Amino acid sequence: MKTIFLALIITLFFSACTQETQNKLGRSIQNWTGTNGVLDIYMGDKLVQRFIKIDKLSTAMSTDGNTPRNYRYGYGYLDANFNYKTDIGEKKLYFEISNYSTPYIFYDNPGHN
């Protein structure tokens, strides 16, 4: 009975929030639990780099903390042979992606370990 009541309260709370607030809460939960993200970096129409096992892709903030900077950053394993696996020699690296110059796609890894 308590579980049903708690589920009802949570449902009412989320339904009362705006879509943007729901998105922020969802991102906060993902930041807490992590994801299994993949970042594909392109040069023209050719895939040139792939990072896997990314917990989150963050937007850099200005020193005052109020203005977003023009790049995103994170940590992930460089997947040199594009097989969605961390092979011997593929290490976890820090990376930065410009919002202007580099086409990229960030997505959840669909079923790969």
* pLDDT tens-digit readout, 73-83: 999 999 999 99
Q: Are 39 and 57 in contact (CB under 8 A)?
A: yes
Q: How confident is the model at residue 30 (pLDDT cuts 50, 70, 90)?
A: very low
| Average pLDDT estimate for 33-58 | 86
The mean of the pLDDT values for the chain is: 79
Instruction: Delimit the domains of the chain by residue range.
Output: 1-33, 34-113
Quote the CA–CA distance of 33 and 72 in Å, as a whole number.
Answer: 20
Task: Output the pTM of the full model.
Answer: 0.65
The per-residue pLDDT for range 4-25, each reduced to its tens digit, is 665 656 665 666 666 666 555 5
